[in-house]
Structure 1
Amino acid sequence: MKFLVIALVILVTISVFRYFRQRTFLKTLTETQFIEGYRKAQLIDVREPQEFNSGHILGARNIPLSQLKHRLVELRKDKPVYLYGQSEFRSARAAQILHKHGYQDLNQLKGGFKKWTGKVKRS
């Protein structure tokens, strides 16, 4: 029982540490803030292709989280990166990967695509 409590405390501590560390390099933007900046940035949808094809933000490129490490050459480090997934989980994970590879200006859509009320393109 004591081991379980210690393991749980360690997991919670690591999660809290990652959350606060992530806030130092990833900006979470409201939809209004996201709209103001994404046209001058690299707009990346990190969902899987079938999700992307069912509807995505106009002008977004689909680079699924599962392929991101292999497709880093498609992204420029000198331009802001605007990320979104279905919620914030995948875009936050994508931001961690990008930050680890030297990308600086990282932004995600608050609430993800499921909260998006702007224009949508369907394939």
Structure 2
Amino acid sequence: MKKIWITSALMVVLAMVALVFWNTKQTLQIIDSEQLAQWMTDEKEMVIVDLREPELFEEGRVPHAINIPFAEINEKYRSIPTDKKVVFVCHTGRMGVESGNLLLENGYKDVANLDGGMAKWTGQVES
């Protein structure tokens, strides 16, 4: 009887640990232009990372974005602060999803991707 009780208690503890771990796993936020524009107004501690090639970045970008081309994100992501919200912008959103997941896998907590990328960005463009 004692073995059954200990085994049951151990199972409950393991289930609780698994549940806590599962609930704390961060997921990539997918946002639209309107949400990003709102964050740009409200958030003081945010980094917008444009993943496009430097030529396209120079032609026009989301205001205050920095450029880390997608081909370089694996080597340079550590230069992005971990204590700020990070938003990825690319051509259409695909590279932002990959880059966002890379950051989440490496301990970043607050990461988003602009759905549709610059193709769907409706806010101001800086050049």
Q: How well do the aligned residues superpose, as a CA RMSD in angstroms?
A: 1.4
- Quick one: which amino acid aligns to residue 31 of structure 1? S
Percent identity reads 28
* Residue in structure 1 matched with residue 86 of structure 2 by the alignment: 81
Structure 1 consecutive aligned stretches of length 4 or more whose deviation exceeds 4 Å:
none
Q: Which runs of 5+ in 1 are unaligned?
A: 1-23
- What SS class does the counterpart of residue 66 from structure 1 fall into? helix
- Quick one: which amino acid aligns to residue 106 of structure 2? H
* Residue in structure 2 matched with residue 64 of structure 1 by the alignment: 69
Residue 94 of structure 1 and its aligned partner are, at CA, apart by 0.6
1:115 aligns with 2:120: yes
- What SS class does the counterpart of residue 113 from structure 2 fall into? strand
- Quick one: which amino acid aligns to residue 51 of structure 2? V
- What SS class does the counterpart of residue 72 from structure 1 fall into? helix
**TM-score (normalizing by structure 1):** 0.74
- What SS class does the counterpart of residue 108 from structure 1 fall into? strand
Q: Which runs of 5+ in 2 are unaligned?
A: 1-25
- Quick one: which amino acid aligns to residue 32 of structure 1? E
Aligned residues: 99
Residue 72 of structure 1 and its aligned partner are, at CA, apart by 2.2
Give the structure with higher Rg (CA): 2
Which runs of structure 2 are paired with 1:1-123 in the superposition (5 Å)?
25-38=27-40, 39-40=43-44, 41-122=46-127
**TM-score (normalizing by structure 2):** 0.72
* Residue in structure 2 matched with residue 5 of structure 1 by the alignment: none
* Residue in structure 2 matched with residue 12 of structure 1 by the alignment: none
Residue 69 of structure 1 and its aligned partner are, at CA, apart by 1.7
